[in-house]
Structure 1
Amino acid sequence: MKRMMSRAAGHPWLEIIRRQLPLALLTILIVALAVPGAMLVAPALTGQRPNPEGTDSTAPAWQQVPRDLSLPQGISPLKDSAPVPWPDTLAAQLNATLKADGGGSFTGVVQDAATGQVLFDRGGSEGRVPASNMKLLTAAAALRAIGPDQRFSTKVVSGAEPGSVVLTGGGDVLLGAGESSQDAVMGHAGLATLARLTVKSLQENGVTGPVQVRLDDSLFTGPALNPTWSLDDVAAGETAPLFPLALNSARYDPAVTTGPRPQDAAMAAAEAFSAQLTAAAAAAGLSVTPGVERAKAPASGTVLAEVQSATLRQQVDLMLQTSDNYLAEVLGRLAAVASGQPGSNDGATATVYKQVQDLGIPADGLRVADVSGLSLGNQVSASQLAEIVRAITSGTEPGLRAAIGGFPVAGLTGTLGNRYTDASTERGAGLVRAKTGTLNSVIALSGYVVDADGRLLVFSFIGNGLDPGAAGNRTALDRTASALASCGCR
């Protein structure tokens, strides 16, 4: 901000704007920096590229460090004529920053998004524990298998016994306890709305006796926990037993994203629905029998009420931005169901593996033990992750573009919101868009950036065997990605 002021002081009209419209200017600046990555790289992603023009050696305004942007200049389209970094020059910069703090090592790959040319490769084919970078594979698999605009329904169906209703989970684990909120992702579908619609249908059907609530959560099968997960991670709330319906992504409170989770999220949601139904029924002169039991909805049952989730693309955005393990695992199981596989751990991992293969990405050494990245049994190479990012940003399947907005933006959003704030990394603030990944001795960062010359680059850096808690490892990743953002490596 001080640099902005000093620059404004040299130009009277800028000083006037700075004094009169500080809040408006700040708002415009934030919006300009937070424009979804899809807008930033849209011409490269859609294939609608401008005619080649001469290369401008001056970095465009949108590529500058955020605090140096005195006035928004808009987004310049990518050019075919933008130079590709020289690999040797790029390697010299990245090798200087990509160093482990203590034990362990980093592998990494950088590619030109348009051509696939590998510009930097340090052990890129080596299988590594990817931590939450695994969610990039899951996002791509779910979008391919399900479709970005698909929604998941939570229904109330008439039960086999007179007066009984069956709450049936269809994969929405972002249910809210109150009324549906159409502008939200978490809580897009609300149990209070579902209860109110249910009572209306019961009245229309002439139901007068006590109503008994049942729960059908049979969409998912097999163990509710992945056997490769640490029970300590489960106890700490990193994830929870998986069900096809839950409140707040299996959290007690949507605003509290740490600590223990419900161990039977489906029953917790059913009991919350029963409470909402009781209140709505009382106002209509009906009663609800206390208690909820599990029972499969009859095939001949009538749908009494239904609420639908946010779209898959919105859920993928949330999953990537917040690195939600529970949501990732649920989306993996839903992808399996959509592919004709069981909605189980094995179904999810098999589906993600196959979807990666079907994208044409070599699966040599790929091991999928879970689909959220909590498992130490996962093995993914930096090359495979970079190719996934390239498929999302620049591949031939438009449906994968739905994941672009989910990449956290350095210094602004999601799991990168509080990073890229010091002098060694600020060059990447507002520019680097990447998925984070952290386990005890693992750290990873995979994403994309438009460099100072206007070239779209994709990258993946993975550290394994690191000293737990060594702060320099995160800094090494952020400095390396920042070097890419500011690169005019020719």
Structure 2
Amino acid sequence: MKRTMSRAARHPWFEIIRRQLPLALLTILIVALAVPAAMLVAPALTGQRPNPESTESAVPAWQQVPRDLSLPQGISPLKDSAPVPWPDTLAAQLDATLKTDGGGSFTGVVQDAATGQVLFDRDGAGGRVPASNMKLLTAAAALRAIGPDQRFSTTVVAGAEAGSVVLTGGGDVLLGAGESSRDAVMGHAGLATLAGLTVKSLQENGVKGPVQVRLDDSLFTGPALNPTWSPDDVAAGETAPLFPLALNSARYDPAVTTGPRPQDAAMAAAEAFSAQLTAAGAAAGLSVTAGVERAKAPESGRVLAEVQSATLRQQVDLMLQTSDNYLAEVLGRLAAVATGQPGSNDGATATVYQQVQDLGIPTDGLRVADVSGLSLGNQVSAGQLSEIVRAITSGTEHSLRAAIGGFPVAGLTGTLGSRYTDASTEGGAGLVRAKTGTLNFVIALSGYVVDADGRLLVFSFIGNGLEPGAAGNRTALDRTASALASCGCR
């Protein structure tokens, strides 16, 4: 039987609808999914207040707590059109927070990083004891004089006497006792690795033993302790006599960063190397004579083995994050050596002063008694520290950018990791990045922040003559830096 079609089925509009029906259904599905998404996006487009339990999309990226702690290579995002805070409005906010707890006084400077315009100035040219904020000058000086990608070698050189080897310090005081750890800064170069390479080289040269270990730590000269340091600070382990090689930044244990340190860190490292050489040599049938003596490596001595440190940028990062006094002093001496000066206290302080001057930063009143900040003889103004931070974050010398990642992050890393946790300061958590400084009657904070309008600000606040142990002084600094972070001061 022949099937017939109805009139409606034969109409051309019916055929169009039949063909387009799948597309129409798909469109309906897309619309159905898009509506909820639009409801989430709409507040950001319309300016409506978002649900506090929804997303962070209404908060600028630079004002959100970072999701990871990868080291920044620059400061971003920044907008050229971001408004600069009004000085009077900013001063009113900072004057309300920058108050001492008891005696003493605070000085301070805030600058627009892009232009250098001073937005806040409270005796910013006055010389102050800066405590560990001095390390910012040392970081900049070392990066300029040495270069951020430089590594320091610890070598074993064939001695003048048959069978003797000379462990020679090249500036690495972050040596580990075990195998080299490529992903670490502390322990990047290991004495066990150096010993294994030495045994292999001795075997290749037909040395049967016994082997005598010598130590050459002559890279540094002059007194091993800065004469302006308090003996009490040395006894407490704030620092130690300086040498061009050491284990764990002159600590007995890398995990224990307080308490007494080795008083001869170079010899301690040499004895640890001798022990590793004895163990490695025993497996190869090579004996090692007990005991280590000091002796200068022959200038023409053959290098038998070598291990290299982490890069200078990584060491600067560690120095700033942990405020390591010993490492800071070593980097100052290495900067001196790199510029042809003696690797001594005087060489280090003269080099840091000269490098600051060469950056174009006024040095009126600047006194550099040490390069770690332990000395009460240091005098640095808040304006000079603010200019150093500005040079690091946005200056013309890009080698200084290597220090950016070393600034502790408020509430998250380094010496700021346990701060910015109460209601009066938590607004700066994850946003303020600054170097701390603390002595008995001194407290300081210098760093940078991108404010609520997207403007990069650099700052330095220094308190001197303070009541020792007064908790309100640290809170005052943290509240002041938090005020900068939330500033839309117009």
TM-score tier, shorter chain, comes to: 0.7 to 0.9
TM-score, L = length of structure 2: 0.87
CA distance 1:429–1:312, shift in 2 (3 Å):
same
Deviation at 1:60, TM superposition (A): 1.1
CA distance 1:316–1:41, shift in 2 (3 Å):
farther
C-alpha contact (below 8 Å) 1:424/1:479 kept by paired residues: yes
Deviation at 1:392, TM superposition (A): 0.2
Q: Secondary structure at the match of 1:51?
A: coil
C-alpha contact (below 8 Å) 2:175/2:248 kept by paired residues: yes
Deviation at 1:319, TM superposition (A): 0.1
Question: What are the Cα deviations for residues 175-204 of structure 1, in whole angstroms up to 9, with x where unaligned?
Answer: 000000000000000000000000000000
Deviation at 1:33, TM superposition (A): 31
Question: What are the Cα deviations for residues 54-84 of structure 1, in whole angstroms up to 9, with x where unaligned?
Answer: 9999751441468999999999721100000
C-alpha contact (below 8 Å) 2:72/2:405 kept by paired residues: no
Identity of counterpart residues, as a percentage? 93
CA distance 1:384–1:262, shift in 2 (3 Å):
same
Bigger CA drift: 25-34 or 61-70? 25-34
Q: Secondary structure at the match of 1:68?
A: coil
Aligned residues: 490
Q: Secondary structure at the match of 1:475?
A: helix
CA distance 1:73–1:239, shift in 2 (3 Å):
closer
C-alpha contact (below 8 Å) 1:174/1:185 kept by paired residues: yes
Superposition misfits of 4+ residues, deviation over 4 angstroms: 1-59, 64-76
C-alpha contact (below 8 Å) 2:335/2:348 kept by paired residues: yes
TM-score, L = length of structure 1: 0.87
Question: What are the Cα deviations for residues 318-363 of structure 1, in whole angstroms up to 9, with x where unaligned?
Answer: 0000000000000000000000000000000000000000000000
Bigger CA drift: 145-154 or 26-35? 26-35
**Which of structures 1 and 2 has the bigger CA Rg?**
2
CA distance 1:207–1:144, shift in 2 (3 Å):
same
Deviation at 1:300, TM superposition (A): 1.3
Question: What are the Cα deviations for residues 256-276 of structure 1, in whole angstroms up to 9, with x where unaligned?
Answer: 000000000000000000000
Question: What are the Cα deviations for residues 182-234 of structure 1, in whole angstroms up to 9, with x where unaligned?
Answer: 00000000000000000000000000120000000000000000000000000
CA distance 1:163–1:486, shift in 2 (3 Å):
same
Q: Secondary structure at the match of 1:50?
A: coil
CA distance 1:211–1:265, shift in 2 (3 Å):
same
> What CA distance in whole angstroms lies between the structure 2 residues aligned with 1:234 and 1:92?
42
> What CA distance in whole angstroms lies between the structure 2 residues aligned with 1:74 and 1:2?
80
CA distance 1:35–1:328, shift in 2 (3 Å):
farther
> What CA distance in whole angstroms lies between the structure 1 residues aligned with 2:416 and 2:151?
28
Deviation at 1:2, TM superposition (A): 74
C-alpha contact (below 8 Å) 2:62/2:454 kept by paired residues: no
Question: What are the Cα deviations for residues 16-61 of structure 1, in whole angstroms up to 9, with x where unaligned?
Answer: 9999999999999999999999999999999999999999997514
C-alpha contact (below 8 Å) 2:210/2:286 kept by paired residues: yes
CA distance 1:8–1:236, shift in 2 (3 Å):
farther
CA distance 1:395–1:290, shift in 2 (3 Å):
same
1:102 corresponds to 2:96? no
CA distance 1:304–1:282, shift in 2 (3 Å):
same
> What CA distance in whole angstroms lies between the structure 2 residues aligned with 1:140 and 1:270?
31
C-alpha contact (below 8 Å) 1:222/1:345 kept by paired residues: yes
C-alpha contact (below 8 Å) 1:52/1:80 kept by paired residues: no
Structure 1 residue runs of 5 or longer lacking an equivalent are none
CA distance 1:97–1:9, shift in 2 (3 Å):
farther
C-alpha contact (below 8 Å) 1:4/1:69 kept by paired residues: no
> What CA distance in whole angstroms lies between the structure 2 residues aligned with 1:15 and 1:219?
92
C-alpha contact (below 8 Å) 1:61/1:73 kept by paired residues: no
1:192 corresponds to 2:192? yes
CA distance 1:429–1:231, shift in 2 (3 Å):
same
Deviation at 1:284, TM superposition (A): 0.3
